[in-house]
Amino acid sequence: MSGLRVDDYLRRLGLRDGGHPSVEGLFRLHAAHVERVPYENLEIWLGRPTTIDPADSWRRIMRGRGGYCCHLNGAFSLLLGRLGYRVTRHFAGVQGTPDAPAGATGNHLALTVRGLPSQDNPDGVWFVDTGLGDGIHEPLPLVAGAYEQGPFRYRLRPSESEPGGWRFDHDPRGSFTGMDFRPGPSEMAAFQATHEHLSTSPDSGFVRVLAVQRRDAAGVDLLTGLVLKRVGSVPPASSPGPVSEDSTTLERQEDYFAALADVFGLTLDDVPPPERAGLWERLAAAHERWLAERPATA
């Protein structure tokens, strides 16, 4: 893993140093990661195959990009390990809608960190996940209960579908219903088949819809196809306040790429103009199909 410099990663996160493993340090790293490294599946729409090798994901993030769970949590777990944290990768599954089956299907990689007790978490085990898009902003104690972060209300509880595992219930306003993960450690190879399906299958949501999400303390920015949406207050927020959900459709190519750069930090410097134009054409066509398939409203 030559060339993977911790200082470069920390600089990407806007941090001067990682410090020694601590609860405060873990919170700082996690919040910086979800704020600066967006959840996105742009490479699929650009026709650029990716791997889920954490070292490759690290390099991808250094190039100013993000990724989805296997990329984000894979690279973040590698960073945490290099900084001395006791991090474990878990085989998990995101339940997209209430009528979808729950359980660890392998479409998600989850993380826990051990050995960091606090007054509120004497066992010292933390649920860590930078790959859930509009999920958590900071780690949660791996303790059953309800938790609030910004506009969202979460719940952690023992999983009903994975014996000994855990269930994360998202807020009803979230982009998915929940996530289950198994208790033991998992190798990255366990996610390879699902990664290939998510990256290439016409049935994959990643193939059908280009999604970009970026979490902060006050809420989340979401770009789904051509629809840009903000859930929560505009940061910085001095108090939770009322939850707003403002959305707009980006109908011009220049507005779309400006939003990628300004809202999500994705300048796409490595994408030449012809590829950008092709991406825009595919997005516009997908948006038209979505409009045509929407149920008519009264």
**169 pLDDT tier (thresholds 50, 70, 90):** very high
Structure confidence at residue 239 (pLDDT):
47
Q: Is the pLDDT of residue 242 over 80?
A: no
Position 174: which residue type? G
- Residue 32: the pLDDT is 98
Please tell me the predicted confidence (pLDDT) of residue 262: 97
Model pLDDT, residue 3: 81
pLDDT in tens, 28-81: 999 999 999 999 999 999 999 999 999 999 999 999 999 999 999 999 999 999
**Average pLDDT across the chain, whole number:** 94
pLDDT for 250: 97
Predicted confidence at residue 1, as pLDDT, reads 60
Phi and psi angles of residue 288, each rounded to the nearest 5 degrees, phi first: -65, -40
Most confident range, picked from 2-11, 235-244, 288-297: 2-11
> What percent of the chain is predicted at pLDDT more than 70?
95
Tens digit of each residue's pLDDT (9 = 90 or more) over 15-30: 999 899 999 999 999 9
**What span, in angstroms and rounded, lies between the C-alpha atoms of 235 and 298?**
36
Confidence grade of residue 298 (pLDDT, cut at 50, 70, 90)? very low
Q: What is the pLDDT of residues 5-15, one digit of tens each?
A: 999 999 999 99
What's the confidence (pLDDT) of residue 297?
52
Residue 110: pLDDT above 80? Answer: yes
Classify residue 133 by burial, with Cβ atoms within 10 Å: 0-12, 13-18, 19+.
buried
Residue 295's pLDDT is 75
238: confidence class by pLDDT, cuts 50, 70, 90: very low
